[in-house]
Amino acid sequence: GENVEQHPSTLSVQEGDSAVIKCTYSDSASNYFPWYKQELGKRPQLIIDIRSNVGEKKDQRIAVTLNKTAKHFSLHITETQPEDSAVYFCAASRGPGANNLFFGTGTRLTVIP
C-alpha cells in the first residue's frame, strides 16, 4: 500500500516568515495530494490540494508543489500569522473510485508573534 512520510514533525517560525513542510509518497499510482489543517480537538480542514497533472498550485499565502518523478510534494506558507499555528497533514490517494487517503504523521507549526 501507500506510505506517506512527512517532515518536520515540529516547526517554529517567526510571524511573517515562511514555513515549508515536505512529504514523500511511495505509490506511483497516487494522483491526488491534499493538505489538511487541524486545530486541537477539531476536524481536519482541507486547505489546498493538487492533482498530478499540475506541478504547482497557489491560493493566496499558501502554495503546494508536486514532483511526480521524485514522488514528493511540499506545502509553502508565506507571511505566516499566529492563526496559522496548527497541525498540518499531507495525504495521498489514487483519486476518484479509489480515493482512500493515506496520511502523513503531521507537522505541528507554531508561529511566534
> What is the contact surface with another protein in residues (CB under 8 A)?
1, 4, 6, 9, 32, 34, 41-46, 49, 51, 89, 91, 93, 95-97, 99-106
Complex with another protein: residue 50 or 63, whichever CB lies closer: 50
Complex with another protein: residue 59 or 79, whichever CB lies closer: 59
Complex with another protein: residue 67 or 100, whichever CB lies closer: 100
DSSP notation for 51-90? ETT-SEEEETTEEEEEETTTTEEEEEE-S--GGG-EEEEE
CB of 1 to another protein, least distance (A): 7
* Nearest in space to 34 (alpha carbons), one of 79, 2, 66: 66
Dig out the grid coordinates for 21 from the structure: 513542510
CB of 82 to another protein, least distance (A): 22
DSSP notation for 20-54? EEEEE---TT--EEEEEEE-TTS--EEEEEEETT-
Complex with another protein: residue 57 or 78, whichever CB lies closer: 57
CB of 16 to another protein, least distance (A): 28
